[in-house]
A = this chain, B = another copy of it.
């Protein structure tokens, strides 16, 4: 299941793309426009800022803005920041690899083989989709 965090994060990002102007987009506006609990959204945008995807400005007329062009923000990056590993098991994760201890041998593991295929096919979608694609109608 996609977490609410990720879902809200994606919606917020597209909202920012669609409402970008010379002043940053405020959390309150996004929360209202996308039906997201504001305090929850605050923490999500903070995560995206710390990951370098968003920039922010404090104080009056402050808010959030994109650090890169929408067409340069890949879903691989966004999903890893918000949702964590793209792979369904740590032992096939490219960015969050972990050996699984209940598995004597990865190569012969049936689950391993299947999950590599799932990872690759999902990865293929994410690396060919940018925030610009998401934001277009």
Q: What are the residues of chain B within 8 A of A111 when measuring CB–CB? A: 2, 7, 10-11, 134
CB nearest neighbor in B for A107: B137
**Contact (A125, B135) CB under 8 Å given A88-B1, A88-B2:** no
**Contact (A118, B114) CB under 8 Å given A2-B88, A2-B89:** no
Number of interface residues of A (CB under 8 A): 32
Q: What are the residues of chain B within 8 A of A75 when measuring CB–CB? A: 114
Binding site secondary structure of chain A: helix
Give the contacts of A101-137 with B (CB-CB under 8 A): 102, 108-111, 113-115, 117-118, 121-122, 124-126, 129, 134-135, 137
Q: Does A56 contact B (CB under 8 A)?
A: no
**Contact (A89, B7) CB under 8 Å given A75-B114, A110-B135, A113-B134:** yes
- Which positions in A face B, CB cutoff 8 Å? 1-2, 7, 10-11, 14, 34-36, 75, 85, 88-89, 102, 108-111, 113-115, 117-118, 121-122, 124-126, 129, 134-135, 137
